[in-house]
């Protein structure tokens, strides 16, 4: 079947041709680990069982995972992905955290059909999704962790080469909100929709608009993360306005605006987190590798 898994709509057979994401029908995995970097409402004191897929359907110039998003990984079958679910579960993972999964949604569904973990499956995606695929995925995954990177479609084109990003991301979020109601057990979100927004330097107004949209369109039970960890990576140096961390005043204004959010859980990162320490270090001793 031709691939139209994401808004790129390449409509090509990935067995014989490559689309925008440059990935074939064989899933590629960069890293599998017990990972402590996700929000506490997902993993509490425990660790996520993170599977980092290689490649990405976005091309963010400031990507903090360049080696993974632009790189190759180990080719795996759906059966191998299912086996990894088992291994992560047995290793004590609080959830299965599928990181940058969009271009492998079909292979992931196949794996879940082979083995359905007893712990929540988190679909940790960049937001450049189609509502149709998200609706189908509601039958398989438990928690959608969406990025909502931009309000301005022009910024999305400039920095992520992603036409109509806001339109696709918001329609996808609303589809998930409608079809996957939030379920909390204690302080853990075990089903539903959570959203992250990474604030960009020089674009506070765009962050205000993202917050306004979240305030008007997400249920109070959906957690929101406002992230100040931006640090220029990759090709960000080519864009003077984003070639620096956020200024304290910019972030203060965004946090102040975020006070209008009615969501019960709003996590705000410390600006001091905007250091290169936040660039994932996959060799860190705290990360226990499975694969
Ligand atoms: S997943 Fe890849 S091949 Fe499929 S539509 Fe998106 S970019 Fe194109």
Q: Is 133 in the pocket of ligand 1 (CB under 6 A)?
A: no
pLDDT band at 65 (very low <50, low <70, confident <90, very high): confident
Q: Is 56 in the pocket of ligand 1 (CB under 6 A)?
A: no
Instruction: Print burial letters for 115-140: b (CB count within 10 Å at least 16), e (below 16).
Output: eebebbbbbbbbbbbbbebbeebbeb
- Closest ligand 1 atom to the C-alpha of 19? 3
Ligand 1 atom 3 nearest Cα: 19
Cα(207)–Cα(187) distance, rounded to whole angstroms? 27
> Is 2 inside a domain boundary?
no
Question: How many angstroms is it from 10 CA to the middle of ligand 1?
Answer: 6
> Is 7 inside a domain boundary?
no
Residue 281's pLDDT is: 43
Cα(15)–Cα(35) distance, rounded to whole angstroms? 32
The structure's pTM equals: 0.93
- For the chain, report the end-to-end CA distance as a whole number of angstroms: 30
> Is 21 inside a domain boundary?
no
Question: How many angstroms is it from 133 CA to the middle of ligand 1?
Answer: 12
Cα(9)–Cα(164) distance, rounded to whole angstroms? 13
Answer yes or no: are the C-beta atoms of 157 and 163 closer than 8 Å: yes
> Is 14 inside a domain boundary?
no
Ligand 1 atom 1 nearest Cα: 103
Residue 286's pLDDT is: 43
pLDDT band at 285 (very low <50, low <70, confident <90, very high): very low
Asked whether residue 67 carries a pLDDT value surpassing 90, the answer given is no
Residue 277's pLDDT is: 46
Residue 274's pLDDT is: 61
Q: Is 19 in the pocket of ligand 1 (CB under 6 A)?
A: yes
Instruction: Print burial letters for 2-18: b (CB count within 10 Å at least 16), e (below 16).
Output: ebebbbbebeeebeeee
Print the domain residue range for 88. 28-289
pLDDT band at 242 (very low <50, low <70, confident <90, very high): very high
Q: Is 4 in the pocket of ligand 1 (CB under 6 A)?
A: yes
Q: What is the mean pLDDT of residues 99-124?
A: 98
DSSP letters, 79-116, are HHHHHHHHHHHHTT-SEEEEES-GGGHHHHHHHHHH--
- Write the CB contacts of 144 (distance below 8 Å, at least 6 apart in sequence): 122, 123, 125, 134, 137, 173, 176, 180, 192, 193, 194
pLDDT band at 71 (very low <50, low <70, confident <90, very high): confident
The tens digit of pLDDT for each residue in 186-240 reads 999 999 999 999 999 999 999 999 999 999 999 999 999 999 999 999 999 999 9
Question: How many angstroms is it from 281 CA to the middle of ligand 1?
Answer: 28
Domains of the chain: total: 1
- Closest ligand 1 atom to the C-alpha of 103? 1
- Closest ligand 1 atom to the C-alpha of 3? 4
DSSP label at residue 188: E
- Closest ligand 1 atom to the C-alpha of 9? 5
The tens digit of pLDDT for each residue in 151-182 reads 999 999 999 999 999 999 999 999 999 999 99
> Is 19 inside a domain boundary?
no
> Is 71 inside a domain boundary?
yes
Nearest in space to 229 (alpha carbons), one of 119, 136, 147 = 147
> Is 9 inside a domain boundary?
no
For residue 182, the domain's CATH number is: 3.20.20.70
Question: How many angstroms is it from 202 CA to the middle of ligand 1?
Answer: 31
Q: What is the mean pLDDT of residues 270-286?
A: 53
């Amino acid at each position: 079947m031709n691939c139209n898994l994401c808004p790129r709509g390449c409509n090509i057979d990935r067995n014989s041709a490559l689309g925008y994401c440059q990935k074939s029908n064989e899933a590629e995995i960069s890293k599998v680990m017990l990972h402590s970097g996700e929000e506490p409402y997902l993993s509490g004191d425990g660790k996520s069982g993170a599977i980092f897929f290689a490649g990405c359907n976005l091309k963010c110039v400031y990507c903090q995972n360049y080696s993974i998003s632009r790189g190759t990984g180990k080719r795996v079958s759906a059966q191998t992905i299912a086996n990894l679910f088992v291994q992560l579960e047995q290793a004590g993972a609080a959830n299965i955290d599928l990181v940058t999964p969009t271009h492998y949604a079909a292979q992931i569904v196949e794996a879940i059909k082979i083995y359905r973990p007893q712990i929540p499956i988190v679909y940790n995606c960049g937001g450049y999704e189609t509502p149709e695929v998200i609706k189908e995925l509601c039958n398989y995954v438990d928690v959608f962790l969406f990025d909502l990177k931009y309000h301005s479609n022009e910024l999305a084109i400039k920095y992520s080469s992603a036409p109509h990003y806001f339109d696709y991301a918001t329609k996808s979020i609303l589809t998930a909100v409608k079809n996957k109601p939030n379920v909390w057990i204690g302080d853990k979100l075990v089903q539903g929709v959570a959203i992250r927004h990474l604030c960009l330097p020089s674009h506070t107004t765009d962050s205000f608009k993202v917050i306004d949209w979240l305030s008007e369109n997400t249920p109070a039970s959906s957690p929101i993360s406002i992230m100040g960890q931006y640090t220029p990576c990759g090709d960000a140096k080519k864009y003077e306005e984003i070639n620096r961390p956020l200024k304290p005043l910019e972030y203060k204004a965004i946090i102040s605006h975020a006070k209008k959010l009615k969501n019960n859980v709003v996590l705000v990162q410390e600006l001091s987190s905007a250091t290169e320490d936040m660039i994932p270090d996959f060799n860190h001793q705290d990360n226990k590798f499975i694969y």
